[in-house]
């Protein structure tokens, strides 16, 4: 029997009261914000290159900005397109490999410093530096020599190098950096050592000693035609016994390709020139992506990480400022009066709530405490659809926009598999796990929002691309594969643990898959639920068997999904490696013909779905609850909703709250 909200409310009233009381106590005397939304989990950081999820991205996009910004297309508000932001324009060369950005004049950071092209040479050098900790460095590897700058072991004899000496004011802080020495690499000696990792495991790593012909520096610039002096630099870890064979070796923090060799140049304060390795049709999409937003050098060098991101220290440049942050409660954003496009920003203040529980989000929305709920319990979707339909029968509310917004989304829900752990290192075991999941059951009875069962990684909706054929649910074949792997009827198979971050939806899906694997494969399956920050660490350090994951396309191209899984990719996080797959991804990077490029990416995806380092579950739809008085909230494939374009219809707001007894 279908339940209505009228029937549910008596049970929710005590919960709603307690939630309201809690948040009223937390906020104290702070007046309500003009607009409030739930952001799910507590954001781990607001430092652009260190961020990795939607909770962080929503805030970073509000307080920082890129050369371009994704905004609704004026001709189709449901489509997001890159539009000039901190760059007022861009010239693209005929060979499509050189982008010349013209920095918007008169723009200031919140500390009053003028914005210049040098903010990008600093920000992107920091982004690409191996110490940055970003999982998105590969997104800028389309730039000439960017990958070689990120990867420490890429230096070759004859390369120009930048050496950072181990004399930082604080060695634990990346900025201010130590003394920079420039020179030509003449010799590289490599040493294999055992080094303890953050998870306590020992791992073989390579440490090197570099013989460098160093050149003098004048006005901050290396004088490559000047006299040279040969010096030896080594990074911590080179065995002491080996160091004895060098004369006066000097410890260095890093020995990297000279950043001047990277295709990121600022010939003056107003111009940024970016040279790519090959034509990249979605490059403007990349420079709109929040990890590539500019950051303020003075702020970072003054306060260090993470202190520079505290509300009392942070310097930003976006449409909003970070005024206040209360851990496990909310972030208060206020309109930035010095934003270059401040006249188009309508909301004066925004509260971003850290509410993990889907039920709590719904309760707060229904009680008028939220204007936008980003996650809704799947169990009440039918009831909410019925609620929207009934509003149309009310003469006062007929024609009012639906509050439950469900739309197609360029995103995939999948499970990562730790391919370094037996028996999951066997492709047949992974294939068996995949074929034993009834994905139709999951979308019909768990998610219930119109999601589509997934057999591959790249979702539908990308014009011109069609993924490889995949196999559907087949428990009989799954058992055969498991037997071929040495585990007939599950015998001898150790327990498999599913890791997921705190969410009612993730929990429900994991429980169904747990039951399906037990029923179809006769294996023991355990569930492990952890908070978002712990989850990110465990997955990054491969401390899991199978882990829940999701990926929203950063741009409308299959590459945004597929290039994650190259060998040692920061977002790979499965331990899987396939040289042929890597080759296909590399070939696609430099392929100019669009059709051939898509065929190459399809070949790569075929390898991925054959070896199954991931288990695709379903293709998402976006599900949001948004008050009808919120203007300019439009569904789109990436489920990105810029705060600066939203607006409140105050007259309608008052009426809606009165009609619902909330005013």
Same domain (yes/no): 629, 644: yes
In this prediction, residue 200 has a pLDDT band, given cuts at 50, 70 and 90, of confident
- In angstroms, the CA 86 to CA 296 distance is 14
The stretch 615-626 carries a mean pLDDT of 96
Q: Three-class SS of residue 391?
A: helix
Residue 663 burial (10 A CB sphere; 0-12, 13-18, 19+): exposed
Is pLDDT at 12 greater than 70 in this prediction? no
To which residue do tokens 């075929």 refer? 606
Instruction: Report the C-alpha gap between 453 and 551 in whole angstroms.
Output: 15
- Do 179 and 167 touch, CB atoms closer than 8 A? yes
Per-residue confidence (pLDDT) for residue 198, from 0 to 100: 66
Rounded average pLDDT over 180-186: 97
- What CATH number is associated with residue 191? 3.90.76.10
pLDDT of residue 619: 96
Whole-angstrom Cα Rg for the chain: 27
Contact (Cβ atoms closer than 8 angstroms) between residue 99 and residue 273: yes
Name the burial class of residue 652, with classes exposed (0-12), middle (13-18) and buried (19+) by CB atoms within 10 angstroms of its CB: middle
Q: What is the helix (H) or strand (E) element at residue 251, kind and residue range?
A: strand 250-257
Compute the distance between CA of residue 647 and CA of residue 6 in angstroms, rounded to an integer: 30
Confidence category of residue 208, pLDDT binned at 50, 70, 90: very high
Tens digits of per-residue pLDDT, 443-497? 999 999 999 999 999 999 898 999 999 999 999 999 999 999 999 999 999 999 9
Q: Are residues 491 and 565 in the same domain?
A: yes
User: What is the per-residue pLDDT for 202?
Assistant: 80
* Contact present, 654 and 663 (Cβ < 8 Å): yes
Extended strands (E) in 197-270: 202-214, 217-218, 221-222, 229-235, 250-257, 264-268
Long-range pairs, 591-595, Cβ under 8 A, ≥24: 591/278, 592/278, 592/279, 594/281, 594/464, 595/464
pTM value surpassing 0.85:
yes
pLDDT tier at 27 (50, 70, 90 boundaries)?
very low
| 555 pLDDT above the threshold of 70 | yes
- The reply to whether 93 falls in a domain is yes
Residue reference for tokens 């199978």: 546
Confidence category of residue 29, pLDDT binned at 50, 70, 90: low
User: Which domain does 485 fall in, by range?
Assistant: 407-621
Residue 283 lies in a domain: yes
Number of Cβ within a 10 Å radius of residue 323: 14
Cis status, amide bond into 176, omega within 30 of 0 = yes
pLDDT for 37 equals: 97
- 549 closest CA partner among 578, 520, 572, 526: 572
Both tokens of 342, joined, read 């401040």
Provide the percentage of residues in the chain whose pLDDT is more than 70.
Answer: 95
What average pLDDT score do residues 605-614 get? Answer: 97
| pLDDT value for 354 | 94
Would you place residue 592 in the very low, low, confident or very high pLDDT band (cuts 50, 70, 90)?
confident
Query: Reduced to 3 states, what is the DSSP secondary structure of residue 417?
Result: strand
Cα separation, 240 vs 212, in Å, equals: 20
Phi, psi of 338 (to 5 degrees): -95, 5
Quote the CA–CA distance of 324 and 167 in Å, as a whole number.
35
Whether residue 72 is contained in a domain is answered as: no
Question: How far does Cα 355 stand from its chain's mean position?
Answer: 19
Q: What is the pLDDT of residue 15?
A: 44
Greatest CA separation for the chain: 89
User: 287-317: string of b/e by CB count within 10 Å (b at 16+)?
Assistant: bbbbbbbbbbbebbbebbbeebbeeeebbbb
Indicate whether 266 and 378 sit together in one domain: no
Spatial separation of the C-alpha atoms in residues 279 and 98, rounded to whole Å: 9
Q: Tokens at residue 411, please?
A: 């995103």
d(CA 106, CA 267): 18
Helix (H) or strand (E) holding 610: helix 594-611
Q: pLDDT averaged over the chain?
A: 93
Q: Is the pLDDT of residue 21 over 80?
A: no
Last residue of a domain, one of 262, 295, 328: 295
Summarize the confidence of residues 392-417 as an average pLDDT: 94
User: Does residue 22 surpass a pLDDT of 60?
Assistant: no
Where does residue 343 rank: exposed (0-12), middle (13-18), buried (19+ CB within 10 A)? exposed
* Gap between the Cα atoms of 474 and 207, Å rounded: 48
Residue 71 lies in a domain: no
Specify whether the CB–CB gap between 449 and 492 falls below 8 A.
Answer: no
Phi-psi region of 200 (alpha: psi -120 to 50; beta: other; left: phi over 0): left
d(CA 440, CA 619): 11
Question: Helices then strands (H, E): number in the chain?
Answer: 18, 26
Number of domains in the chain: 3
Quick one: average pLDDT of 80-87? 96
% the chain with pLDDT above 90: 86
- Residues 617, 627, single domain; the answer is no
DSSP label at 184?
E
Is residue 479 situated within a structural domain? yes
Residue 14 has pLDDT above 50, yes or no: no
Gap between the Cα atoms of 607 and 280, Å rounded: 23
Are residues 323 and 274 part of one domain?
Answer: no
Of the candidates 239, 214, 211, 243, which has an alpha carbon nearest to the alpha carbon of residue 227?
A: 214
What does the alpha-carbon distance between residue 69 and residue 64 come to, in Å, rounded to a whole number? 10
Q: State the residue for tokens 């009228």.
A: 6
| Domain edge (last residue) among 278, 295, 312 | 295
Residues 600, 638 share a domain = no
pLDDT class of 109 with cuts at 50, 70, 90: very high
Lowest-pLDDT range of 49-53, 284-288, 514-518 = 49-53
In this structure, the answer to whether residues 121 and 29 fall within a common structural domain is: no
Strands (E), 465-573: 496-501, 525-530, 546-552
List the end-to-end C-alpha distance of the chain, in Å, as a whole number.
32
CB 472 within 8 A of CB 452: no
Residue 223 has pLDDT above 60, yes or no: yes
Q: Are 268 and 152 found together in one domain?
A: yes
DSSP element (H, E) containing 624: strand 614-626
DSSP 660: T
Q: Say if residue 454 is in the same domain as residue 384.
A: no
DSSP element (H, E) containing 92? strand 87-92
Task: Indicate whether 90 belongs to any domain.
Answer: yes
β-strand partners of 326: 330
Q: What is the pLDDT of residues 144-179, one digit of tens each?
A: 999 999 998 899 999 999 999 999 999 999 999 999
Query: Does residue 150 sit in the same domain as residue 291?
Result: yes
pLDDT at position 534 over 70:
yes
Does 70 reside within a domain? no
Pairwise CA distance, residues 632 & 151, whole Å? 43
How confident is the model at residue 199, as a pLDDT?
65
How many Å apart are CA 408 and CA 400, to the nearest integer? 22
pLDDT at 5: 39
Among residues 272, 295, 318, which one ends one of the domains?
Answer: 295
Segment 384-389 shows an average pLDDT of: 95
Same domain? For 364 and 460 the reply is no
Nearest to 119 by CA among 97, 103, 106: 103
Q: Classify residue 67: in a domain, yes or no.
A: no
Q: In terms of domains, do 585 and 649 share one?
A: no
Model confidence at 569: pLDDT above 60:
yes
Q: pLDDT value at position 219?
A: 87
For the domain that residue 492 is a member of, what is the CATH number? Answer: 3.10.105.10
Q: What is the CATH number of the domain that holds 376?
A: 3.40.190.10
């Amino acid at each position: 029997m279908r339940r209505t909200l009228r029937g549910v409310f008596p049970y929710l009233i005590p919960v709603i009261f307690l939630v309201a009381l809690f948040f009223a106590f937390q906020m104290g005397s702070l007046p309500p914000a003009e607009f409030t939304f739930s952001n799910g989990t507590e954001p781990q950081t607001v430092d652009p290159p260190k961020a990795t999820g939607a909770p962080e991205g929503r805030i970073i996009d509000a307080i920082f900005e890129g050369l371009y910004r994704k905004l609704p297309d004026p001709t189709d508000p449901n489509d997001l397109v890159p539009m000039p932001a901190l760059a007022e324009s861009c010239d693209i060369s005929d060979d499509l490999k050189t982008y010349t950005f013209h920095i918007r004049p008169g723009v200031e950071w919140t500390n009053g410093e003028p914005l210049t092209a040098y903010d990008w040479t600093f920000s992107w050098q920091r982004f690409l530096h191996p110490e940055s900790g970003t999982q998105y460095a590969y997104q800028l590897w389309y730039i000439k020599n960017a990958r070689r700058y990120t990867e420490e072991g890429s230096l070759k004899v004859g390369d120009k190098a930048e050496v950072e000496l181990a004399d930082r004011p604080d060695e634990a802080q990346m900025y201010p950096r130590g003394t920079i020495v420039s020179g030509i690499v003449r010799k590289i000696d490599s040493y294999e050592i055992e080094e303890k990792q953050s998870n306590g495991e020992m791992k073989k790593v390579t440490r090197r000693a570099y013989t460098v012909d160093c050149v003098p520096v004048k006005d901050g610039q290396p004088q490559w035609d000047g006299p040279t002096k040969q010096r030896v630099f080594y990074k911590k870890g080179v065995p002491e016994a080996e160091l004895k064979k060098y004369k006066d070796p000097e410890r260095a923090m890093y020995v990297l390709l000279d950043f001047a060799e990277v295709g990121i140049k600022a010939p003056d304060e107003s111009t940024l020139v970016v040279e790519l390795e090959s034509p990249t049709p979605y490059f403007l999409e990349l420079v709109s992506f929040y990890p590539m937003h500019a950051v303020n050098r003075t702020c970072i060098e003054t306060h260090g990480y993470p202190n520079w991101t505290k509300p009392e220290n942070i310097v930003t440049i976006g449409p909003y400022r970070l005024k206040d942050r209360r851990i496990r409660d909310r972030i208060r954003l206020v309109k930035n009066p010095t934003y270059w496009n401040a006249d188009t920003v309508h909301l004066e203040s925004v509260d971003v709530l850290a509410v993990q529980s889907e039920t709590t989000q719904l309760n707060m929305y229904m009680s008028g405490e939220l204007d936008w709920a980003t996650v809704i319990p799947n169990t009440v979707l039918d009831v909410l659809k019925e609620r929207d339909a009934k509003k149309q029968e009310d003469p006062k509310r007929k024609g009012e926009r639906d509050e439950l917004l469900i739309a197609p989304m360029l995103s995939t829900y999948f499970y990562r598999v730790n391919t370094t752990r037996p028996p999951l290192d066997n492709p047949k075991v992974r294939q068996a796990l995949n074929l034993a999941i009834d994905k139709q059951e999951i979308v019909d009875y768990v998610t219930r929002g119109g999601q589509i069962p997934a057999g591959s990684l790249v979702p539908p909706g990308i014009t011109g691309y069609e993924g490889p054929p995949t196999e559907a649910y087949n428990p009989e074949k799954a058992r055969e594969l498991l037997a071929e792997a040495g585990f007939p009827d599950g015998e001898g198979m150790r327990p498999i643990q599913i890791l997921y971050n705190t969410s009612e939806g993730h929990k429900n899906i994991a429980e169904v898959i747990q039951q399906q694997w037990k029923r179809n494969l006769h294996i023991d399956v355990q569930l492990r639920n952890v908070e978002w920050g712990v989850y990110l660490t465990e997955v990054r350090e491969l401390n899991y068997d199978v882990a829940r994951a999701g990926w929203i396309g950063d741009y409308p191209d299959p590459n945004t999904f597929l290039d994650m899984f190259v060998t040692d990719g920061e977002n790979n996080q499965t331990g899987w490696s396939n040289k042929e797959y890597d080759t296909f991804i590399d070939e696609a990077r430099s392929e100019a013909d669009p059709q051939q490029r898509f065929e190459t990416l399809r070949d790569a995806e075929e390898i991925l779905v054959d070896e199954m380092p991931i288990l695709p579950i379903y293709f998402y739809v976006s599900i949001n609850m948004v008050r009808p008085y919120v203007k300019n909230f439009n569904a789109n494939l990436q489920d990105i909703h810029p705060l600066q374009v939203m607006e409140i219809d105050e007259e309608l707001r008052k009426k809606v709250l009165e009609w619902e007894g909330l005013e």
